Structure 1
Amino acid sequence: MTTPVRFTADEDPEGRTVLAVHGEIDMSNAAEFDQALRAALERGRPLLVDLTATGYLDSAALAVLFEHASSLSLRIDRTLRTLLSICGLSDLVPVEVVARP
């Protein structure tokens, strides 16, 4: 069973909308993830998707990220770096890799 996912959207000091994702994203909640991304994009600011509190993405989650690749950037920790590199998403989207606190 998937860990419940939670989304929070705030503005950072650089004027970007930061959509923080807390929990795993898979086919059971990918549509919810897509809706959260669309709502964040409607704010009309550059969008940073913060996946540092996300330890797992399946192909449905990756499909959502590919769909919106031209409109966002990502913040991840090292856990997701290899996955994004293998699937090619890190070639399309600006990716900031940070260490977990």
Structure 2
Amino acid sequence: MTPVQLTLAPERTADGTALLTVTGEIDMSNSGRLADALDRLPGHVVLDLTGVDYLDSAGLNVLFARAERIEVIADTLLRPLLTVSGLADLVPVRPAPGR
């Protein structure tokens, strides 16, 4: 299986919080890269998914496994999926600024 386009950009916010900005599609072919990127960031991580066009069950599994230490920023495309899956009951899910 050929991995689909996925870009992972780790950084720190002004207050030192870990931020991982994700763009592209998250599926079975590349969910391991997302897991590795999250695991390399210590402590609480804000995960910006506003640039994600597709998220399948493999990607959701990565998020569920790390629910105790993540917070998610998602646009109107992903928020319903995060709610229906139950992830929004476990982690803070907030809209992107200005949306």
**Structure with more of its chain in strand, by fraction:** 2
Unpaired runs of 5+ residues, structure 2, are: none
Distance 1:49 1:81 in 2: 13
Aligned to 2:10: 9
- Structure 1: 4+ residue segments shifted above 4 A: none
Q: Which has the higher helix share?
A: 1
Give distance in 2, aligned partners of 1:2 and 1:36: 16
* Gaps in structure 1 of 5+ consecutive residues: none
Computed over aligned residues only, the root mean square deviation of the Cα atoms, in angstroms, reads 1.7
Q: Any conservation in 2 of the 1:2–1:24 contact (CA below 8 Å)?
A: no
For the residue of structure 2 that corresponds to 1:28, the secondary structure is coil
Match for residue 31 of structure 2? 30
What percentage of aligned pairs have identical amino acids? 39
Q: Which amino acid aligns with 1:6?
A: T
With normalisation by structure 2, the TM-score equals: 0.90
Q: Of residues 79, 82, 87 in structure 2, which corresponds to 1:81?
A: 79
Give the Cα–Cα distance (whole angstroms) in 1 for the partners of residues 79 and 41 of structure 2: 23
